[in-house]
Amino acid sequence: MRWTKFRIKTLAEAEDIIISALYDIGLEGAQIEDKVPLTAAEKEQMFVDIPPESQEDDGVAYLSFFVEENEDGTLKVNGENTTAEEILKSVENELGDLRLFMEIGEGTVVVDRTEDIDWINNWKQYFHQFYIDDVLVIPSWEEVKEEDKDKMILHIDPGTAFGTGMHETTQLCIRQLKKYITPETKLLDVGTGSGILAILALMFGAGEAVGTDLDPCAIEATRENIEANGILPEKFSVMTGNIITEKEVQDKVGYECYDIVAANILADVLVPLTPVIVNQLKPGGIYITSGIIDDKEKTVKEAVEAAGLHVLEVTYQGEWVSVTAQK
């Protein structure tokens, strides 16, 4: 499969209006490259494992649009066959119109052709083996070095699910789990993603784990990672569903039967989750939360306390926070 790429050099402040204008002529799914710093809210909503490298903002932005080529070399936009030259002319006309009432910077367009774009797997070039304290985390496409074979090794391939272990929130949870895991521990991992927290909990010596997630892709990724790490299926069961709103999921998970509940989710999800999840914890059970950008710390702590839990510890890494509490 081949694609024609239209790459526009413009200003960051003009991104939205250009994307909107080009959407009207049939160009969709813009790839945006700029150096605008993320706000706290954007960081929380993105919640990415592999954060982009930050550089000083120079106000410049590049917008790329990809159009799939037909076998005869023509392109299809809005269901009709066209050519790169015709699309380029339309793009330049739209940019010319925008110049009449706003600053768009250079506004140049470069047209290029590219081979099949593997959108799902391109991110793998940024994910390489690394350590979280004394645990070696290694993706499925890399080999364990001879000198690392005596280490605790976590084989992880998140697929399209969250959870490589690179994100600060995941590392905060892992360190808290280490403190509270015992051979008798039964763990519930809400929003399990790639299954990384529950798998590591079992590797740390926990007896059993249950994971829930809204995304079927996460459940599939988790099952693959369970197998890759030699975890017995009966040790870690997973299910799709929303434990906050679905009574069926709550019933299936069970009540007052977990020594630890871990939830590495967004702060805005932790607030409604906490009063529900209290029912899954045993008396004296530990609740480990993360996914909390620093300006949401107070909100989550208040939700935890309002649910009748006692805050034991608040830990920090970068701009992220983990709140650990006890029932």
264 is an annotated ligand-binding site residue: yes
The torsion of the CA quartet 41, 43, 46, 49, rounded to 10 degrees, works out to -160
CA distance 289 to 170: 10
Predicted confidence (pLDDT) per residue in 146-187, tens digit: 988 899 999 988 665 667 788 899 999 999 999 999 999 999
Residue 48 has pLDDT above 60, yes or no: no
Closest C-alpha to 87, from 56, 66, 118: 66
| Helix, strand, coil % in the chain, rounded to nearest 5 | 35, 30, 35
Residue 260 has pLDDT above 60, yes or no: yes
Structure tokens at 202: 């079992």
How sure is the predictor about 124, in pLDDT bands with cuts at 50, 70 and 90? low
CA distance 276 to 208: 21
CA distance 207 to 77: 55
Task: Determine how β-strand 31-34 pairs with β-strand 60-68.
Answer: antiparallel
Indicate the SS3 state at residue 17: helix
Asked if 218 and 252 touch (Cβ cutoff 8 Å), the reply is no
How sure is the predictor about 266, in pLDDT bands with cuts at 50, 70 and 90? confident
pTM of the full structure: 0.73
Instruction: List strand residue ranges (DSSP E) for the chain, in order.
Output: 3-11, 31-34, 60-68, 75-77, 80-82, 108-114, 130-132, 135-138, 152-155, 186-190, 208-213, 236-240, 258-264, 281-293, 310-317, 320-326
pLDDT at 121: 63
Predicted confidence (pLDDT) per residue in 204-216, tens digit: 999 999 999 998 8
Residue whose tokens read 């988790």: 222
Residue 146 to residues 142, 143, 150, 157, 290, Cα–Cα distance (Å): 13, 9, 9, 21, 34
CA distance 295 to 327: 25
b/e 96-107 (16+ beta carbons within 10 angstroms → b): eebeeeeebbeb
213 is an annotated ligand-binding site residue: yes
Q: Which residue has the higher pLDDT, 117 or 79?
A: 79
